[in-house]
Structure 1
Amino acid sequence: MEDTEGQGGLILVADDEPNIVELVSMYLARHGYRVATAQDGDEALRKARELKPSLLVLDVMMPGPDGLQLCRALSKPGGAPIILLTARSSDIDKIAGLRMGADDYVTKPFNPEELVARVEAVLRRGRPNGRKAAAGTMRIGRLEIDPRAHEARIDGAPIALTPRAFDLLVTLARFQGTALDREQLLDLVWGTSFYSMRTVDVHVARLREKLRGSGAQIETVWGSGYRLSGTPEGEGGP
């Protein structure tokens, strides 16, 4: 099979539960993607190397090489991004997956529309408007985010951000194109939901000012939360 242009790229879905494979495949197909499937790690590894999919959706607990082992084997600069499906909800397991090379994770049970949204967001980060400029670095418009150096830059010039503001920016960038509500942001950035929802609003307002003119905007999605989006490079924000 050959990959197709644009949104219709090939997605490899690997899970040992046939009902999950069928459900995910159906929703991806509805959104215009082509789908290849695998029911164990060996088949997934073989198809990933043969078909060269645009993105892989891997179950952590499938037999053969599991999702984490496949991440280690398949994750490489310029390689297809990986989303893990996991029944493990602990932060330790999620962090392990990300460190193995996964780009995102979805915890079972999940809403298939959310999974499709995450697929779209991860693929967007690999395109010119939101590509990784280097290993671990994200670019959105004229904004460049380097989590390893703990630095954000606009046209190469560093932006003065507090540690919390930087963590908020990184979180929004990793979920680019997907709206995160205040409670999710509190959990992901602050590590707890005990803070006031107003805390998120204040930090978002300050971060918006810092990003002005960068081509990256934090949008308010009514009823859903906040979403980071970008304009093509060379086009400034409002």
Structure 2
Amino acid sequence: MQYLGLSQTEMAEQFAKWNNEELDSFLIEITRDILKYKDDKGFLLERIRDTAGQKGTGKWTAIAALQYGVPVTLIGEAVFSRCLSALKDERVHASRQLKGPSIKPKVENLQKFLNHIKHALYCAKIVSYAQGFMLMREAAKENKWNLNYGGIALMWRGGCIIRSVFLGNIKDAYTRNPKLSNLLLDDFFKKAIDVGQDSWRQVVAHAFLWGVPVPALSTALAFYDGYRTEKL
């Protein structure tokens, strides 16, 4: 969005709009609040060092995914992105040595492309939750647990960092089919992906051509295309 020329205020307004639509969630909400936060020196975000630490939960989840043989690619990519962000000094040096793309496509219709971004975020979010439930399903099978997946989705709505309005849709999916093998196969989520996937592909393709890293969006799309492919 910054590459598109939006100011922090404009980005905050966009996230506020999305938070009143299907992307309504804690993470969209706090992104809105962080983008618009100002003190007597101006916007705070621009003064925050772009390196991320880790508490370990993402790493533990990625390790569990490898142990159970489940492709939880988004959380894995998120962990690696944090690791990459921590290489601040190396990135500063590399930025002066390594070139990006010489030809960058232009966006003719800003509002249309912002809508593409909204759909891309929503589709990737669906894949992320689908992968999480895949991991729980495999762990339950191996450990002989009897998990109430719909109940787990509702539990996450109560003050959890991954709180999202569509956790109710996940509950509905498992109510319709308690033996659902993957959220992507539920009619509600299939339709959401059908509606948004062209936008999703536009965003990832433009990001690649601009040289803008979008690791979560791109790995989610790669997983989706792999999962829907009969013969890899």
Instruction: Answer whether TM exceeds 0.5 for this pair.
Output: no
Q: Which has the higher helix share?
A: 2
Q: Which has the higher strand share?
A: 1
Larger Rg: 2
Q: 1 or 2 for the larger relative contact order (CA 8 Å, sep ≥6)?
A: 2
TM-score range, shorter chain: under 0.3
TM-score by length of 1: 0.27
